[in-house]
A and B are shown apart, each in its own frame.
Chain A
Amino acid sequence: MADVVARQPGKDPFATSPDTIVDEIARSRRRAGLRFALFFILTWIVLVGGLGLLIATSGRVHADFLAEYAPFFLGGIPLTIFVSVASIFFATIFALIGALGRISAIAPIYATATLYVSLVRGTPLIVQIFFIYAALPQFGVVLPALVAGIFALSFNYGAYMTEIFRAGIQAIPRGQLEAASALGMTDWQRMRRIILPQAIRIVIPAIGNDFIAMIKDSALVSFVALQELFWRARTVGSAQFRSFETLIFAAIVYWILTIVFSLFQERLEKRMAESDRRI
């Protein structure tokens, strides 16, 4: 402490106590933090406000048209959210099965799971969606539009999440597995009672992230006759020559949706990290 005091030339080393200096530093840090937050908000107001002003004054936005069609566009949100929720649910199942396959010691199972991950991650999602909707029927496999859309999204996300799940499972310390075996647990008991409960806690924040990405990718199921948010905006925009307004409207709605779910996600992450925090 004497060092700090000594490094302030021109000041009487005895006029300020060490406590005051600590307070001073804390205060100046707080001030810097406040200043940063203030400039952050100001910049956002300028950018978002400017962008909004630019769009509003472009002469392309007709308030009465938007007011007339807004309920129709917003009516697509329940389907967007339903598709996202259902898809993330089934993707989790695909991922769990895929991950168990990816850590399997049995060659054919490991190979199948690896092929699944490689094939799905190596092809565009839009190709998969069209394939399931338009190509499989020529093969005799006809899934209704809603099932085709949810299946395509969950099959795709399942492959990505497989790797997340595998990492989650492999993050469990080896010692625990050995301890479980020493207690006489079978492989399945070990998986169900020791590994999965901990692994799921690790992967839940990642699932939350994927869910937010899913809300955006759910727009792709507009190509399989599902009248969700994007389909409605695109079709009305095309029919009325108002793509500019309808697409901006859809973009803003998606943005708000992802912000709302990001807030949930942040809380979830905090909640999940609770047990790791040092008290």
Chain B
Amino acid sequence: MNRPFRTALSLAAVAGLLAACSSPAATTGPTGTATEAPMSEAPMSEGPAAPIAGGLLEKVLTAGKIVISTDPAYPPQSEQKPDGTYEGFDIDVATELAERLGVEIEWTTPPWEAITAGSWGGRWDISVGSMTITPERLEVVDFTVPYYFTPAQMAASTQSGITTLEGMAGKTVCAGEGTTYFHWLQGNLDFGPGGRPDPPPAGVIATTLPTDRDCAVTWQSGRHDFEGWLSAEPTVDAAIADGLPLVKVGDPVYSEPLAVAADKSGPDPSDLLARLSEAITAMHADGTLSQLSMKWFDEDITKDPSL
């Protein structure tokens, strides 16, 4: 507490944002450690990945806890119970991962754009938030192997009367801020190694609201500024189950690989991600993930559809 406050005060004394460039940089350690500690020190064997000196795994194991970001506005992946605790598919997966890692979890709830933008500055260690692997995100964060694959589902407000995907041509479609759905609508979604999905309907106009569900809530509240809504199939299903005025339109437009992510600009995350990837592969093999998928989605969406 003390140091940031002193930083804040020293900023005040100079009373200029320009000063922020130089002075507080001293208080932030993480940047640059990756260059100081080349990865060569840790020879990878068949066994569990060994911690790199100054790496993220070492930080987490030393602290005995891992700080995980989640966005509790996304049931059934993550939501908050009246007592303030969290539940959902992502929450269960994260809990299982932390257990296999042998550490406690501390949750934090930054806005989604702050997670996908990287530069976490050590405020949280990993995101277990159904993040899609994309080349743009790969520039700022690194991923584990996917832990499940969400079909992206187009929906239309019942009021619009649209029933086919082609019917969305030239219409306005809502998506959550910073989501892959928004990028797909704009025609620039790319899964990198996972290939490119089919293009969106011709002339479709994309609009955003802070989180996916806000789009459906907007219809419920009687506003019809857009005809379509693109989100994860489980999210759309949950909205329909909750009695919101919308219908599914066509088959899922693409299926996206979702993985655990860690910030590249902090301590080297490669060792932690390697360890988590091993755990995820094991959870795929021993049926843990399938079981959790059945629990939260009533279907198993943990198998790679491209296989």
Contacts and interface: CB of A to CB of B under 8 A. Distances in A.
A223 B111 contact: yes
A140 B31 contact: yes
A236 interface: yes
B213 A239 contact: yes
B15 A113 contact: yes
B8 A235 contact: no
A142 B121 contact: yes
- By secondary structure, the A interface counts as helix
B291 interface: no
Contact of B28 (A68, A97, A112, A141): A141
Interface in B213-238: 213-214, 216-217, 220-221
Most A Cβ at <10 Å: residue of B11, B27, B80, B239: B80
Interface string B108-145: 11110110011111110000000000000000000000
Contacts of B149: none
Contact of B83 (A72, A94, A101, A145): A72
A98 interface: yes
A225 interface: yes
Interface in B235-294: 239, 242, 244
Contacts of B15: 94, 97-98, 101, 112-113, 115-116
Contact of B214 (A69, A147, A232, A238): A238
Given A138-B119, A142-B121, A225 B211 contact: no
Contacts of B210: 238
Nearest to A243: B217
Contact of B213 (A75, A158, A241): A241
A134 B83 contact: no
A238 B217 contact: yes
Given A97-B12, A151-B8, A141 B214 contact: no
Interface stretch (B16-24, B39-47, B89-97, B199-207): B16-24
B14 A112 contact: yes
Given A75-B84, A98-B15, A116-B15, A239 B8 contact: no
A142 B120 CA distance: 8
Interface stretch (B69-77, B166-174, B183-191, B297-305): B69-77
Interface string A175-189: 000000000000000
B25 interface: yes
A79 to B, nearest CB: 12
Contacts of A155: 8, 11-12
16 contacts: A90-B8, A90-B12, A115-B15, A119-B17, A136-B20, A137-B121, A141-B20, A144-B4, A147-B4, A225-B114, A235-B73, A235-B109, A239-B75, A241-B213, A241-B220, A241-B239
> Which A-B residue pairs are the 10 nearest by beta carbons?
A142-B121, A116-B15, A225-B110, A137-B119, A147-B4, A137-B121, A138-B119, A238-B73, A239-B79, A141-B24
